[in-house]
């Protein structure tokens, strides 16, 4: 039976970042992905925003890795020609109560180490974005947008050049603890099953991450590892209205754990609005056209130029959340499962937003864990 040093499950943006960090010529590293190519789920169906690190509770990995990832991501893009744009972000208040909420949010962002945050006045908002309505806003100059596909392609090439093998169209069906690591059973695209062993196993399977943990023998209910699907829908903004806002424009968060429907500019100069988030039981990417009115009502107070007829259903994505509906935000789960009797097994579960921004920092974080195991 073939033996490898490190196996990574899942070739989304996080799995590829990890592979690019842990792959070396003197290590046998395999990345296994069930789809025919990388990033075909959450990593390719999101806002492609580089976040500053404002929204997350102090001490959360989400905060720490987002702030670090923001800096790393701009460096990677600049050094490797990955398309991106540092647009800046405005989080706007349209009532005096929301201004107080912004002050609390600003304090949280500063505690997290997010760079150069400030609250600006209504007049200053108009100077930056003449068509946006606000009493005040948090200005986050380090926020931006990125071509996530080009980023993933960069990490795929880097991992391969460093000696990693990436096998697509192969789904992990079994995990068995053995004396020197784990025996992995994989079904290929022809329906054939093959087995190999690995010393270190890294679960970065995104929407399937709790199922992979269960295959390894973890009681996901007891551990708090169950993933809940949270769907986010987007509507495109037509009627030439994309020229009316140059930056990321976000509302004051409407409720804990949700950032609200915001502008989503892209690198081609067009714009979407979204996401509208809600929990679902199964994966599907249809966009409910009847939500148009909800989108319109959500953004009209701060984007007065938007009209109902400007909105058309666009795309959707699904995030792997580990909190149930109505529960407070939970942190990323990134842990070595040695205490569960699974040495060498590293779980990454609930890697939702800001997973794209945090991805380069997550790769380094997991590489440090691997170095301690090896």
Same domain for 198 and 232? Answer: no
The Cα 87–Cα 47 span in angstroms is 14
Q: Please give the tally of structural domains in the chain.
A: 2
Ordered mean pLDDT values, 10 residues apiece, the chain (374 residues): 94 99 96 97 96 96 98 99 98 96 96 96 98 98 98 99 98 97 96 96 99 98 98 97 96 86 96 97 96 98 98 98 94 98 98 98 99 93
33 Ramachandran zone, left/alpha/beta (phi>0; psi -120 to 50): beta
Assessment of whether the complete model's pTM goes beyond 0.85 = yes
Same domain for 245 and 142? Answer: yes
pLDDT the model gives residue 280: 98
The Cα 75–Cα 73 span in angstroms is 5
Among 321, 338, 356, identify where a domain stops: 321
Same domain for 195 and 160? Answer: yes
| 262-265 vs 271-280, strand pairing mode | antiparallel
Same domain for 217 and 289? Answer: no
Among 277, 294, 321, identify where a domain stops: 321
The Cα 113–Cα 90 span in angstroms is 18
> CA-based angle 5:158:316, to the nearest 5?
100
Contact assessment for residue 55 and residue 105, using Cβ atoms and an 8 Å cutoff: yes
Quote the domain boundaries for residue 28: 2-44+149-226+329-373
Contacts of 53 (CB under 8 A, 6+ apart): 63, 66, 67, 70, 109, 112, 113, 114, 354, 357
CATH number, domain containing residue 65 = 3.30.9.10
Same domain for 38 and 61? Answer: no
CATH number, domain containing residue 9 = 3.50.50.60
pLDDT the model gives residue 70: 98
pLDDT the model gives residue 258: 80
């Amino acid at each position: 039976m073939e033996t490898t040093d490190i196996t990574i499950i899942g070739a989304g943006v996080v799995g590829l970042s990890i592979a690019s960090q842990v792959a070396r010529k003197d290590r046998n590293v395999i990345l296994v992905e069930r789809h025919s190519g990388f990033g075909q789920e959450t990593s390719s169906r999101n806002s492609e925003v580089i976040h500053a690190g404002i929204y997350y509770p102090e001490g959360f990995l989400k905060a720490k890795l987002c702030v670090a990832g923001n800096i790393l991501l701009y460096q990677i893009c600049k050094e490797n020609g990955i398309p991106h744009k540092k647009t800046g972000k405005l989080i706007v208040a349209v009532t005096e109560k929301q201004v107080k909420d912004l002050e609390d949010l600003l304090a949280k962002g500063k505690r997290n180490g997010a760079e150069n945050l400030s609250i600006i006045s209504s007049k200053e908002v108009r100077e930056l974005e003449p068509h946006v309505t606000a009493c005040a806003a948090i200005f986050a100059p380090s926020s931006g947008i990125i071509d996530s596909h080009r980023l993933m392609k960069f990490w795929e090439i880097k991992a391969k050049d460093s000696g990693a093998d990436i096998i697509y169209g192969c789904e992990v069906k079994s995990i068995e603890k053995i004396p020197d690591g784990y025996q992995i059973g994989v079904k290929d695209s022809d329906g054939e099953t093959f087995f190999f062993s690995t010393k270190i196993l890294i679960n970065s399977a995104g929407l399937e991450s709790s199922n992979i943990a269960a295959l390894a023998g973890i009681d996901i209910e007891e551990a708090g590892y169950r993933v809940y699907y949270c769907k986010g829908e987007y509507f495109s903004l037509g009627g030439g209205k994309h020229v009316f806002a140059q930056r990321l424009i976000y509302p004051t968060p409407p409720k804990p754990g949700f950032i609200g429907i915001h502008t989503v500019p892209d690198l081609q100069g067009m714009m979407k609005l979204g996401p509208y988030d809600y929990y679902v039981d199964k994966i599907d990417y249809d966009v409910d056209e009847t939500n148009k009115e909800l989108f319109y009502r959500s953004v009209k107070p701060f984007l007065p130029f938007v009209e109902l007829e400007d909105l058309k259903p666009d795309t959707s994505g699904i995030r792997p959340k580990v909190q149930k509906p109505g529960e407070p935000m939970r942190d990323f789960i990134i842990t070595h499962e040695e205490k569960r009797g699974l040495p060498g097994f590293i779980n990454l579960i609930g890697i939702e937003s800001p997973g794209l921004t945090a991805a380069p920092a997550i790769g380094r974080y997991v590489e440090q864990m691997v170095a301690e195991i090896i």
